[in-house]
Chain A
């Protein structure tokens, strides 16, 4: 599948943004951890900014962005529509929580609004993954590894950013700031594992569909292209027949894993071992920058290495 920058940016950045909103919601709900007011407001603000930036980027991908409002209509069948509805709804508790904290409102309300925000952010990322996992035509997306991947990568990138915000803003080193690198470490290990498991799955998968089942000519032997329907590219070969990543695939996978899991994980361990506020800041900044860069590479591969069954009609693959 052709990777488009608008979609990669949308899934990575909105994943990080809704992850931040999720973490802020959880912290407000749990209350006991007591992050500072400034830290929470920054996390909420950055989270909303990232979520909005991601959504705007997804609008740029549309050929008719002026009609985007129509996409809220078909939530009963379409994951894309559900994603749109859930993402907009999530802004309600996010803005409410921001306002409550801004106004020093420490009543029980923040707990329930925080819980609502965490829940809605989680649902939104589930819907984002649903756009891809619902496509039976693309086996690299239609499997059980994609949803946990989206959730983990969103949570990992968000926890890096949350950690960075706490370290930079919470100078009095709240309990949550001490706790944050541990969360980053756990999520980095889990992300590393899910990505390896995903690649193992997609590399070993033998598709049920073949050029023979696509054409129904399998009973007469093996099917190969004698003459293509068109001499030049068409929309299908351009969009679904993307071939570029194959050559550098293995190296790009290592780069993605290194940036998205190894750097944040090592950063978290280092800051736990070396108890220094300024060193922790360096580690947190490095982790936050690298995790996003790594996710861009990971998401690019997620598209570029995905095979679409329609290419079986062009006999590009043995199976899909």
Chain B
């Protein structure tokens, strides 16, 4: 069914902290590893050891250079990009077969690979590049929010999180219910000013991004010769004596 379900109170998603992400790609690798063997796998690569390797990844980490403004300094920002599990995504409604769907109970957007005809229209409809078509499998694939981990009762409670969240060495990725204003990640979003990517598309992403914290001072990060100013007339007697001695 590719009509969108009525808005669910539960909105599972990710919050990505651009302040702490170091661009190590551990999330992308952990995602690829889990989902290659998970319920929605495999994620086969074509020409994996040849000149032009090509394969589906659910998570891609961009690194940007940001020029800075009068108030902020220039910086590099590492930017993981994956499915945002939007509230009103066109990738679901354009699907002619009902293979692409949004779960009514928790808002996770999934592809039923047994119904997918491989028309790729959903990938065209996604502004975030969340969907990648698998040529070897002939179906569209995308982030599942590790639905086969987060509800897996054979796992320890701690392990019931998406693989990317567990792998992040700087804890730049957080998982939880963004529909519940009192959940830890909703509070984190409120506290840090979490924002939507490309809000003008009107897809209402569930995942939020936390902006880099302001650097101490726009000039502090620039290497500059500093002028030394020490007023020895108010310095302690010992330093005054040393200044006199060394100034000879």
Interface residues of A (CB under 8 A from B): 1, 61-65, 67-68, 70-74, 76-81, 84, 131, 134-138, 208-209, 211, 213-217, 219-230, 232-236, 238-240, 308-310, 312-315
Contact = CB atoms under 8 A, between A and B. Distances in A.
B201 A309 contact: yes
B196 interface: yes
Interface in B1-30: 1-4, 18, 23, 28
15 contacts: A74-B95, A78-B95, A134-B90, A136-B125, A209-B198, A216-B197, A219-B69, A221-B68, A222-B67, A227-B63, A230-B60, A234-B132, A235-B132, A236-B123, A239-B133
A313 B62 contact: yes
Nearest to A314: B62
Contacts of A238: 54
Contacts of B64: 211, 215, 217, 223-226, 315
A175 B12 CA distance: 67
Contacts of A136: 90, 125, 127, 201-202
B62 A77 contact: no
A223 B66 contact: yes
A77 B121 contact: no
Contacts of B37: none
Given A136-B201, A309-B198, A309-B201, A79 B94 contact: yes
Given A76-B3, A78-B95, A137-B125, A61 B212 contact: no
B124 A138 contact: yes
Contacts of A76: 3
A217 B69 CA distance: 11
Nearest to A78: B96
Contact of A74 (B2, B53, B66): B2
Most chain A CB inside 10 Å of its own CB: which residue of B1, B74, B90, B94: B94
Given A222-B66, A225-B65, A234-B54, A77 B77 contact: no
Given A226-B64, A233-B52, 13 more contacts: A62-B117, A63-B139, A70-B97, A71-B117, A74-B97, A78-B2, A135-B94, A211-B64, A219-B69, A223-B65, A229-B81, A235-B56, A235-B132
B90 A62 contact: no
Interface in B43-71: 52-57, 60-69
A243 to B, nearest CB: 17
Interface residues of B, number: 69
A109 to B, nearest CB: 33
Interface string B205-218: 00001011000000
Nearest to A236: B129
A78 B132 CA distance: 20
Contacts of B128: 310, 313
Contacts of B74: 221
B199 interface: yes
A240 B128 CA distance: 12
B79 interface: yes
